[in-house]
Structure 1
């Protein structure tokens, strides 16, 4: 294993895998597996892929004594009105963004640090890396084509001799 691979593997149980700009697709898969392996991992995964928990609007009875009768109003769900499951999802939302940020090199981390939710960070990294793997695949394909052409020319030259 190379030194770079050793760095990526070291501590893989304790921290998410580190993104290398040429391995976005495997990194994204490994990061999601890492997130799923943590306590409340399904909730963390859900936060990364589908977004954070959004507090519900709770209906309240209207006030019949007002000049303009109000049939009903709404208020945003308070902390006291959250269920245990909803509290766990909100905690997982915080862990999700932390998990992503821990797996990013400094230059990319700086670009997504302003994101407030994990899904937004995830999508921004995806957008930044879009084409990085494709670019590498294109380079490999071009090299393969050049190699094939080179072999064909050599075969023709040998045939003429």
Structure 2
């Protein structure tokens, strides 16, 4: 039995998260969490939504020589990320994207200025 586009949209698919309706927030919340947890990195994506994104990884480097040496802490470049840091950053980005795709246009337009999935 074929489903209609509306039913498919409400249930969510592997390619599109469930769409938030005007009066079904509690149902949508359950479905969006299940959708997210079913994704690769799902636990990290959900943590990003609940706890806010991970801070950018930092590294301490030593500059200068001899007595002129100083330690400086700076943000890591993408090339310096370890796999776990790459996964966290990817999850932070996916969290915002998934929630944005699950919102009707008029709600998305209101929340478009937010920076993180937690703010959404």
Match of 1:92 in 2: 91
How much does 1:90 deviate?
A: 0.9
Q: TM-score, normalised by structure 1?
A: 0.62
Contact 2:56 2:75 in 1 (8 A): yes
Deviation at 1:80, TM superposition (A): 1.9
For the 8 Å contact 2:57–2:81, the answer to whether it is kept is: no
Question: Structure 1 regions of 5+ residues with no counterpart?
Answer: 122-161
Match of 2:38 in 1: 37
- The Cα offsets for residues 14-48 of structure 1, whole Å up to 9 and x where unpaired, read as 31111112111221121111011011111211111
Aligned-pair Cα RMSD in Å: 2.3
Offset at residue 104 of structure 1 (A): 0.5
List gaps (5 residues or longer) in structure 2.
Answer: none
Structure with max Cα Rg: 1
In the other structure, the counterpart of 2:77 is: 78
Deviations along 1:34-83, one digit per CA (max 9) or x if unpaired, are 01101111121111111222123322236433xxxx75321112212211
Distance (whole Å) between structure 2 residues aligned to residue 39 and residue 71 of structure 1 = 41
Map of 1:8 onto structure 2:
10
3-state DSSP of counterpart to 2:61: strand
Match of 2:105 in 1: 106
- Greater helix share, structure number: 1
Pairs aligned (count): 114
SS at match of 2:119: helix
The answer to whether the 8 A contact 2:59-2:76 is kept is yes
| In 2: Cα distance, 1:72 partner to 1:40 partner | 34
CA distance in 1, matches of 2:55, 2:15: 29
Per-residue deviation, residues 108-148 of structure 1 (Å, max 9, x unmatched): 01011121221121xxxxxxxxxxxxxxxxxxxxxxxxxxx
